[in-house]
Amino acid sequence: MKQLGRLDDLPEAYRQALTAQNLVPLWPSLRSVLPPTKPVRRTRPTHWSYAGLRPLLLQAGELTPIEKAERRVLVLANPGHGLEKMQASSSIYLGMQLLLPGEWAPAHKHTPNAVRMIVEGDGAYTTVDGEKCPMSRGDLILTPTGLWHEHGHDGTVPVVWLDVLDLPLVYYMEASYVTEGEAQMVSAEATERAYQRGGVVPSPIFARADKRFPMLRYPWVEVRAALLALDVAQPGIEAVQVAYVNPETGADCQAILGYSALMLRPGETLLLPARSPAMVFHQIEGSSEVSVDDSVFTLAEADTCCAPGYVPITLKNRSTESPAFVFIADESPLHKKLGVYEVRG
């Protein structure tokens, strides 16, 4: 490879003259921003055990009242980016959020997109843009950019969910901010039932709300049933996987990150090719083994792990008798929009 000049090769007076004009020579740093063959990766394969973090999250509930926390969250930070950056990958933020019985997390709206994957408990709800979305284990609830949302809890047991946001990217763009508000008036219950039959949506001939996000709640009971039905309908399919999409357009349900649910058949091993986007795997049911580079993670229920881009990944169902269900978040929509999406091998 061609040897490029170093900064130290330049006379001190010349370097000072550049600095005085806010100028920087490119060639000494060219290979750091344009490395050969593959990008520099800061995202490391990382595993977060729910059994390990759950007691700390419940302790946070004892130590910090919701009035002082606003959102009581433990961030799942990737050490490759530095824990202070609070990033799971270059574009993905993860956090485990706790809401205790009787608590209310006040209404606000923000520029980053968020989703909630419900981990445990019942009796809580999220109100998004006036639509009340009950929380049950495995449900996915969207809180898209610019929509008011708040969390309430009428039940008797702690409720925990996994937050997934595109916060790192929006923050990097200097576009991240929040607006605080008052409690919302509930105008409707979750409207996902209007879209629970594939290929059929409410007819535009009749009055239909012109919403960018027509479906905000994706109930796990329906997603799980769709995976089982897909396996029966197409027994030879390579991967039993469904995507969370906008039911009226078929596009990804949000613009920057993509979400899907995967069923690993009993004893199944699935090889994923090296792709450019980073991926997050969260175990909804069962137990899986995730192999990334030299790291092998065993995911129990509610465990989460992150894999960097440009590396192949192996997923294995650890049970030979029951299926395993995994929620996946990745950066594919962003990479495709930017034209940098790649599959290798």
Give the tens place of pLDDT for each residue, 235-291: 999 999 999 999 988 999 999 999 999 999 999 999 999 999 999 999 999 999 999
Which pLDDT score, from 0 to 100, does residue 302 have? 98
Domain contains 19:
no
42: pLDDT strictly greater than 90: yes
pLDDT above 90 for 184: no
CATH code for the domain in which residue 320 is found: 2.60.120.10
> Over the chain, what is the mean pLDDT?
94
Sequential DSSP letters for 173-200:
TT---EEE-PPPPP-EE--GGGG-STT-
Compute the C-alpha angle 106/112/248, nearest 5°: 100
Closest by alpha carbon to 262, among 218, 215, 324? 324
Question: Which pair of tokens denotes residue 328?
Answer: 């996946």
Domain assignment present for 126: yes
Q: What's the pLDDT at 206? A: 56
Question: Helix or strand or coil: residue 202?
Answer: coil
pLDDT at 341: 97
Is-contact 312 273, C-beta < 8 A?
yes
Residue 116: closest CA among 332, 335, 327, 331: 327
Mean pLDDT for the stretch of residues 56-82: 96
**Residue 6 in domain:** no
209 band by pLDDT with thresholds 50, 70 and 90: low
pLDDT digits over 89-126, tens only?
999 999 999 999 999 999 999 999 999 999 999 999 99
| 252 within 8 A of 277, measured Cβ to Cβ | no
No. of helices (H) and no. of strands (E), the chain:
7, 24
Q: Give Cα separations from 336 to 94, 137, 251, 252, 330 (angstroms).
A: 22, 31, 12, 11, 12
User: 247 lies in a domain?
Assistant: yes
Between these two residues, 133 and 201, which has the higher pLDDT value? 133
Q: For the chain, what is the domain count? A: 1
Q: Is residue 325 domain-resident?
A: yes
Q: How big is the CA angle at 317 (ends 50 and 233), to the nearest 5 degrees?
A: 120
Q: Please check the confidence at residue 304 and state whether its pLDDT lies above 60.
A: yes
For residue 225, what are its two tokens?
């049933």
Does residue 297 lie in a domain region?
A: yes
Domain that includes residue 92, residue range: 46-344
- Reported as a single tens digit per residue, the pLDDT across 154-176 is 999 999 999 999 999 999 999 99
Confirm whether 40 is domain-assigned: no
pLDDT at 210 over 60: yes
- For residue 78, being part of any structural domain is answered with yes
